[in-house]
Amino acid sequence: MEITDIFIAIFTLMAGIGVFLVACQMLSGNLESLSSRRLKQLFSKTGRNKWIGVGIGTVGTAAIQSSGAVTVMVIGFVNVGIMSLSQAATIIYGANIGTTVTAQLVALGMSGTGALSPTILFMALAGVGAFLAIFAKHDTLKHIGGIITGFGLLFVGLSMMADAMDGFAALDSVKLFLASIDNSLLLVFIGALLTAVIQSSSVMTSIAITMVMTGLVTLNQGIYLTMGSNIGSCVVALIAGLTSGVNARRTAMIHLTFNVMGVVLFMLIALILWITTAGEWNFGRVFGQLFRGEPQLQLAMFHTVFNVCTMLVALPLTNALVKLSCRMVKEEEKPALENEPHFYYLDRQMLSTPVVAVRQLKAEIENMAKLAMENFHRAVNIVTTMNYKEVEEFRRTEVELNYLNSELVGFTVQLMDKHLNRFDNQYLTTAIKSVCDLERIGDYAENIVEYADTLKQHGISFSKEAVEEIRYMEGLIVNLYEEIKLAYHKLDMQALNRALVIEDNIDDFTEEMERHHIERLGRGECDPTTGAEYLSLAQNAERVADHLVNVGNTIKTLV
């Protein structure tokens, strides 16, 4: 009979962990979608003040209920050079504090007794949220329903885990086995190993809470399991860092060093406590005295105190931790060349935090527009001066634009499969077209350089009057770009309207250029070959303007 009971308890525990993980994902995804704009603004405020970084990490993690997601997000920012290692370190400190909110909620929900205990009430929210998510018509209400459902399912999973723990607690052999594990280092190792397998410190901490609540382990044992979960939580960051650049791996190493440092610090405190009191006092007894009440609440308080104290110790040592990580992760012997095609604001790891990835995608598209316009200027300079000193830079940027076109389209398609709010989904539907429009600007710039090549082969060049007209057209397109850039970045319809007026002027001036060209041909001032290239250039410039306007017009669906 005992064998049967063991299998029942194991299967119930597995089911509870599964429900809990799904609940965490549902809760995190809906919270992330609902708070996407605020989250984007939050992570754009990282500065040199270390406390701001800690605050951002704490609030960000509490907002989306996932320290792993925040850490991976930070690694992505570091990898593309948006955030320094010091800034990343402080946000990671805060993320560790923010993740303790889950443990506090779990402990609070599992406190109390009676038919209407908080656990029962919270479990009922799963049904309420599901009803709202299914029947609500507005996206915001659907996300709220998803959040409520995820919150309720957390406690459904916890209740199943608690039932499993009760089953284990009824087995004398299991209780004796667990009671025999009194080595603190072994308990830390078990906590770290289980967290690494589950890849969720929240789940491991919740398991520890249910084990303590059912009496399967003591509070002191639960504390060491929780400390181990902090080390195991670094696995996600380490995996993310392995597939990224040097600084990303250093960020992951800072995360690991920070958590190991906290465990070592508290282990030393435990050793001192044990020696000075002849083994009478331990963390379980200390927190049992400090925080009167149920053991699950005491364990949750330890989790919070542990991370806050570790942060207070690590904060003044941030620069030292950064230097240590640089020594542990050396520069690559053959670093990637800066002139190789690459993302400027995005990283593949950001796909794990879609709402931030959307923000960075927009920044990448804006930067692509800047690169395309730089190449347009280079092309105009080459064709009007016949000076090829910028041609190598032109070729390199053209390769970059082709790379961005291909990679950004693929990245956007992957983002479309994520759980995003209506606004972000609408933006993604326009992003692919904008990327293609910008790549076409690069193509027209390439055409203009080819016109220069033709002129060079024939030993001819544009007349002074033709050059002045080309430069004037260039100025109009610059003005158009500035208005489109403002409209796209700020969703500014007034700027878009001004851009449309400039586009009309460009269309009119294109016709004027063609008319002037015919007049010059009639006066014999223009070579037929020069004239053909001039007309093609005017038409290409007009198409550059058209593609810029296409990018600007995408905001009409977003405002």
Is the same domain home to 181 and 263? Answer: yes
Residues 188 and 227 in one domain: yes
Residue carrying structure tokens 């599964």: 18
Assess whether 312 and 353 both reside in one domain: no
> What pTM was computed for the model?
0.69
Q: Looking at the structure, do residues 381 and 276 belong to the same domain, yes or no? A: no
Going from the C-alpha of 196 to that of each of 25, 200, 204, 240, 323, the distances in angstroms are 17, 7, 10, 14, 26
- Domain-located, residue 433: yes
Whether 300 and 433 map to the same domain: the answer is no
Q: Are 83 and 74 in contact (CB under 8 A)?
A: yes
473-491: buried (b, 16+ CB within 10 Å) or exposed (e) per residue?
Answer: bbebbeebbebbbbbbeee
Distance of CA 171 to the CA centre of its chain: 45
Same domain, 312 and 404: no
Domain boundary among 278, 295, 328: 328
Residue 436 in contact with residue 546, Cβ under 8 Å? no
Q: What does the alpha-carbon distance between residue 63 and residue 59 come to, in Å, rounded to a whole number?
A: 6
Residue pointed to by tokens 């009676």: 114
247 and 370 belong to one structural domain: no
- Tell me which of 300, 328, 356 is where a domain ends: 328
Tell me whether residue 334 is in a domain. Answer: no
pLDDT of residue 169: 64
Same-domain check for residues 451 and 497: yes
Alpha-carbon span 494 to 485, nearest angstrom: 12
The token pair that represents 288 in the structure block: 């049992």
Q: Do the domain assignments include residue 333? A: no
CA distance 171 to 340: 63
Q: CA dihedral in degrees (8, 14, 20, 23; nearest 10)?
A: -110
Give me the torsion for CA of 193, 198, 204, 206, rounded to 10°: -170
DSSP 3-state of 239: helix
127 within a domain of the structure (yes/no): yes
Containing structural domain, residue 283: 2-328
How many domains would you assign to the chain? 2
Distances (CA, A) of 210 to 222, 225, 260: 9, 12, 25
Q: Contact at 8 Å (CB) between 120 and 152? A: no
- Answer whether residue 432 is part of any domain: yes
Question: What is the reported pLDDT for 308?
Answer: 93
Angle (CA) 413-418-424 rounded to 5° is 80
Same domain, 316 and 439: no
Cβ neighbours of residue 516 closer than 8 Å, sequence gap 6 or more: 465, 469
In whole angstroms, give the CA distance from residue 333 to residue 461: 47
Residue 97 CB-density burial (10 A; 0-12 exposed, 13-18 middle, 19+ buried): buried
Instruction: Establish if 20 belongs to a structural domain.
Output: yes
Q: What is the pLDDT of residue 66?
A: 67
Asked if 367 and 301 sit in the same domain, the reply is: no
DSSP string, 132-145: HHHH--SHHHHHHH
Structure token pair of residue 476: 């109009």
pLDDT in tens, the chain (559 residues): 467 777 787 888 888 888 877 877 777 667 666 655 555 556 656 656 788 888 888 887 776 666 766 777 777 777 766 678 888 889 889 988 988 887 887 777 766 554 446 667 778 888 888 888 888 877 778 878 888 888 788 778 877 877 777 766 666 666 677 777 878 899 999 988 888 877 777 778 888 888 888 888 889 999 999 999 888 888 766 776 665 667 778 888 888 899 999 999 999 999 898 888 887 788 888 888 888 778 888 898 999 999 999 999 999 999 899 999 888 887 654 444 455 788 888 877 777 778 778 888 999 999 999 999 999 999 999 999 999 999 999 999 999 999 999 999 999 999 888 777 788 888 999 999 999 999 999 999 999 999 999 988 888 888 888 899 999 999 999 999 999 999 999 999 999 999 999 999 999 999 998 888 788 777 766 677 777 888 899 999 999 999 999 999 999 988 7
The answer to the question of residue 85 being in a domain is: yes
Tracing tokens 């209407």 back to the chain, one arrives at 116
| pLDDT (0 to 100) of residue 1 | 44
95 within some domain: yes
Question: What pLDDT does 174 receive?
Answer: 65
Three-state secondary structure of 331-360:
CCCCCCCCCCCCCCCCCHHHHHCHHHHHHH
Four-residue CA torsion sign, 336, 340, 346, 350: negative
Q: Six-digit token pair at 318?
A: 């941030």
d(CA 556, CA 549): 12
375 and 450 fall within a common domain = yes
**Helix, strand, coil fractions of the chain, as percent rounded to 5:** 80, 0, 20
Same domain, yes or no: 44 and 120: yes
Last-in-domain residue among 263, 297, 328: 328
Q: What pLDDT sits at residue 240?
A: 63
User: Could you tell me the CATH number of the domain that includes residue 395?
Assistant: 1.20.58.220
